[in-house]
């Protein structure tokens, strides 16, 4: 499956004990439920949903990478223009 963010893949690269600990720390830092975090990890590329920027920054800080490295997509200028026109 093509996910919008590679959070799950990054976590799965860790040893099991570190994976569990880090995942729990991230959830605590976000102040979100485990279910919300799991949804963040499973957003597919074709979904309209996004992770809020602050939450993505928090997750990235725990994974020691910039937030842009967690994104599996590029923002296209024409897509932004199209979305802006739809909102009018």
pLDDT at residue 32, rounded to an integer: 96
Statement: residue 6 has pLDDT above 90: yes
- The answer to whether the pTM exceeds 0.85 is no
| Higher-pLDDT residue of 24, 83 | 24
In the structure, what pLDDT confidence band is assigned to residue 80 with cuts at 50, 70 and 90?
Answer: low
Q: In the predicted model, what is the mean pLDDT of residues 27-54? A: 95
Who's near 57: CB < 8 A, 6+ residues apart?
67
Please report, rounded to a whole number, the percentage of residues in the chain having pLDDT higher than 90.
74
- For all residues of the chain together, what is the average pLDDT? 90
Q: Which residues contact 2 (CB under 8 A, 6 or more apart)?
A: 44, 45, 46, 72
């Amino acid at each position: 499956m093509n996910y919008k963010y590679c959070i799950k893949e990054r976590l799965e690269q860790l040893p099991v004990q570190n994976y569990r600990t880090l995942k729990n720390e991230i959830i605590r830092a976000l102040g979100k439920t485990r279910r919300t975090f799991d949804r963040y990890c499973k957003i597919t590329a074709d979904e309209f949903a996004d992770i809020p920027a602050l939450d993505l920054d928090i997750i990235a800080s725990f994974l020691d990478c910039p937030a842009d490295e967690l994104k599996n997509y590029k923002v296209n200028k024409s897509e932004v223009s199209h979305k802006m026109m739809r909102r009018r």
